[in-house]
Amino acid sequence: MKVIEEIKKGESERLEFKEVPNDRSDKWLKTVVAFANCRGGRILFGVDDNRKVVGLVGDIFAMKDAIADSVANACVPTIPVETCISTINGKTIIILEIAAGRQTPYYLKSKGDVAGVYVRYDATTRLADEMSLKELRVEGSGRGSDEILCRGLSVSDGDVFALCERLYQVAMANATDSESRKLIKPAQTAQLVKWGVLKSSGQSVAPTNAYALLAGSDFFSPVVKCAVFKGTDRSVFVDRREISGPIDKQIEESYKYVLSKINLSSTFGQGIYRKDVYEIPPAAIREIIVNAVVHRSYVNGEESPITVALYDDRLEVTSPGKLPHGVTVEKMLEGCSECRNKALAQALAYMNIIEDWGSGIPRICRAIRNADLKDLEIQPWPNAVRMVIYRQSRPESGRSQGAVGAQSGAQSEAQSQRVKCLVLLKACELGRKAIAQGLGTSNRSGHLSRILVELVGEGLIEPTLPDKPNSRLQKYRLTEKGLEYVKSISGHEV
């Protein structure tokens, strides 16, 4: 973008105007520090607050050198900058370019490493608050907050073995097929150390925040706060729930919570079989929650929860922590990823909860585009990132042709049981008794019979002994169509 076009748009998160460089230099130096601590930016000297190019008068080269010297003498650590001279409508300005730094926090030497740390918020420069300061320190250390030792938590060999066994069981349950399950090896202590879930200390190991998150420890227990609001703001609560425990269970329970609160309609395609359709693609819901968990900042742990808010017109998922160094909204949409919590991410990848690095946001975009919803909205803030998925019109406002309206609570529960039955069968063939136990219902109930008949009729499952429907050895398994259906609702390759 040309400089003149930037000026017309006005000051922003990454652009500042200064009429003259020697006018309250401490003020523009604060902005230099803020740009270095955040996403970088530019200061245009010779442009006033009203977007008017007033130009600079005097020895322009001496001014240019003085600006660079001021930054070098006043800021710690050293902030690399570039200066250049430009002429606009016959008037000369100096452009000071500040890149986002990696040695955060940067600060003004005269004010110290607490009172001299500044961050950028929209078009203003502000003193960093406690959370921002903590996050900048962690970012500058080159490690994620999940790899910090968990204060007060100690673990025994038995605790570590139990966690390894649980991770293995989750990985097996989430595996796509029998061939994938054969490739999964039981998790070992050495693997947790390699990931950064544990830190080796001589002959013993010490748990990090990632360990506490995976184990659901009370010593470090960030939560997900879910809520449903009436209307399009937070004035009226309809329902709320706080979800705690192991981080993978938080993901699953948050996902189920949203599914239970959004509209579910039915359409009839070829033949007589019904197709149930959620107003927001379930795969997009799961992915947006997984993304929040993996990429959030855990610096302030319990004090800064992930929030999942459902309004009449949208779903918002907000995760604590600014965008990682070098990451922009544009890069996120293209699939570029900078993982903030590598230890946690590697454990979730082992458990088959996340897939290829950087593929989550593009998958969300594809899913909501295929559902004819508005594009995904990503809102970066100084201390958080919010993602917004807009909902379809409510039934009374008109739905797509073939919809028969939102399901009642009882119908939604029936659909939940159908989905649960399919998920149970993705692991292996099961008999009627095993399916009933998994659904928490009676082996002889008419409800179970209806579910099985419907799923067989829709071609999602098939009996292993089709010629002997009443055999005590009868079992059921997913068909190819069933595998595709489970894939579409879970966001995982099945």
pLDDT tens per residue, range 426-481? 878 898 888 888 887 776 667 788 788 888 888 889 999 888 877 888 899 999 88
Q: Which CATH number fits domain 409-490: 1.20.1600.10, 1.10.10.10, 1.20.1250.20, 3.40.630.30?
A: 1.10.10.10
Q: What are the start and end residues of each CATH 3.30.950.30 domain in the chain? A: 3-142
3-142: CATH number: 3.30.950.30
Of the candidates 450, 392, 388, the one whose C-alpha atom is nearest the C-alpha of residue 421 is 450
The CATH number assigned to the domain with range 224-397 reads: 3.30.565.60
pLDDT for res 493: 38
* Residue range 306-316, pLDDT digits in tens: 999 999 999 99
Residue ranges, comma separated, of all CATH 1.10.10.10 domains in the chain are 409-490
Nearest-angstrom CA–CA distance, 337 and 358: 5
Q: What sign does the CA torsion over 243, 245, 247, 252 have?
A: negative
As given in the structure block, the two tokens for residue 219 are: 């010593």
pLDDT of residue 399: 38
Respond yes or no on whether the N-terminal peptide bond of residue 186 is cis (omega within 30° of 0).
Answer: no
pLDDT of residue 409: 46
Residue-wise pLDDT tens digits, 12-30: 989 999 998 875 678 899 9
Q: pLDDT at residue 189 above 80?
A: yes
* Phi, psi of 249, deg, nearest 5: -75, -30
Whose structure tokens read 């609160």?
261
Q: Look-up: residue for tokens 């425990």?
A: 245
Rounded-to-integer distance, Cα 247 and Cα 385, Å: 19
- pLDDT tens digits for 401-435? 333 333 444 455 666 778 888 888 887 889 888 88
**CA nearest neighbour of 219 among 151, 164, 296, 306:** 151
- Whether 14 and 39 have beta carbons less than 8 Å apart is answered as yes
The alpha-helical segments, DSSP class H, found in 262-341 are: 282-295, 329-334
Q: What is the pLDDT of residue 274?
A: 62
Give the integer Cα–Cα distance in Å for 36 and 32.
6
In sequence order, which residues have a C-beta less than 8 Å from that of residue 366 and are 6 or more positions away?
none
User: Are 263 and 406 in contact, with CB atoms under 8 Å apart?
Assistant: yes
For CATH 3.30.565.60, the residue range(s) in the chain are 224-397
The residues pairing with 201 across neighbouring beta strands, listed in sequence order, are 204
Could you count the other beta carbons within 10 Å of the beta carbon of residue 95? 19
Per-residue pLDDT tens over the stretch 341-354: 999 999 999 999 98
